[in-house]
A and B are shown apart, each in its own frame.
Chain A
């Protein structure tokens, strides 16, 4: 199990202009696991996720040191194709972000960008990914409606289906359940535990309880530094660091 390393982060430091947001972080992410990156706001978790698919390249004034290896290949190498990287490492944002087009077109967006897939092939992708995201039964009769017409929880599951349609290897989820009701949250968590059979999942949970429910392993970050990482059971029952213990028991954060 420990040999199956999908992403290896080595001594990553990350700066917005002068400000250090991630400080010398090293972390291994294993294949087919759910890793929860836990921590209070401003801990650098969003930045970490955005570094993994190089979405941070879009921001001004960014600089970084260290290495991020995806299957042993540094994603910042010159010869890395960024669009292919983002296909392999998909992302779900902290607010539901349907594009202003139909439900169908939202999911077809990724597949249509690459290669001339036929209508039938895209139809199949739309159905299978909506099923994986537990949304098919809700929307199968109204795929042509604007995605904005869905409820918040449905929109977020649509965003998951949209990522799955790119056939990624890693899925990053940045607090995907913030602002969702408990039933929607439960549905998304349920999908996640099924999806880890096929994908590697990095989740920034929206609270400690969610991390304890769905994660295989947990990493705790505070002010840009990795404080502790380990198996779910170890971190939650026997945290090594006092700060971790204080955070998961709710003394701060």
Chain B
């Protein structure tokens, strides 16, 4: 067997692996969409669930998902990005840096049900927030912090050091350098981390069911209990209430995540292509 055959076999193996992954993904998507899409209609989108979800729509769970997710991301992003800038720009690998990074990485390894239990005990009971949008959002914000910190820190570290030197040499202070040069350059990477976090929030069930509850009515404020789409799907399927509606919800979830990715990518690409903030 000569080196050209080696090349061919290696290529074939790599192609097979990639095709296999694609096929699995395509199968899951097609299966869920094929079973879920027929259920989607205007009523399904706009009515609140009736009869435990056997009939009616899922509008309250869409609102609940969007509320919990946006609130969680809004809470976590300032802390996550702030920590990332502290780690990447303000310390030189000292003792405190290592402790913060160790804590963040430990947080990343904890199963989400543990976050749920923590959120239930701390936010729901101890702080008396009850099963509510805010309890769910706070719990999720803790859960996504490690992802945000790590992706943002990597994005900040990937900014070429010469940019910083140029900025300083043009008489900028450290803060001006960070705001005007480092942050815009790191923004695509940071946005990527935020998108990942949004995806995790939307998809989360265990942590949310224990903290935001599973109420079916339309949430009226951040202190109302709510049921997210992922939780709704879980309950419908788990308790055998309605597989049809479960798949409908799942299809809707997939479309929602797809839309968020498209919108976010367009936003980031436009920003990068311009390469400028004025």
Which residues of A approach B to under 8 Å, CB–CB? 53, 55, 58, 60, 83-84, 86-87, 90-91, 93, 95, 97, 99-102, 105, 109-110, 113-114, 144, 146, 148, 162-163, 166
Contacts and interface: CB of A to CB of B under 8 A. Distances in A.
Interface in B131-162: 162
A109 B168 contact: no
Contacts of A144: 276
B184 A100 contact: yes
Given A60-B92, A83-B171, A87-B171, A97 B166 contact: yes
B169 A101 contact: no
B170 interface: yes
Interface in B203-226: none
B276 A102 contact: yes
B266 interface: no
Interface residues of B, number: 23
A170 B167 CA distance: 17
A97 B275 contact: no
A73 B172 CA distance: 21
A163 B167 CA distance: 11
Contacts of B173: 83
Interface of B: 92, 162-173, 176, 180-181, 184-185, 274-278
B176 A55 contact: no
A189 B134 CA distance: 64
A53 B173 CA distance: 14
Contacts of A105: 276, 278
A241 B274 CA distance: 54
Of all A-B residue pairs in the complex, the 3 with the closest CB atoms, nearest first, are A87-B171, A86-B171, A91-B169
A110 B173 CA distance: 11
B172 A55 contact: no
Contact of A101 (B164, B170, B172, B277): B277
Given A60-B92, A100-B275, A110 B170 contact: yes
A93 B166 contact: yes
Contacts of B176: 113
A109 B278 CA distance: 11
A101 B184 CA distance: 9
Nearest to B172: A113
A86 B275 contact: no
B163 A166 contact: no
Nearest to A102: B276
B171 A97 contact: no
A93 B168 contact: no
B163 A100 contact: yes
Contact of B166 (A87, A99, A114, A166): A99
B269 to A, nearest CB: 14
Contacts of B172: 83, 109, 113
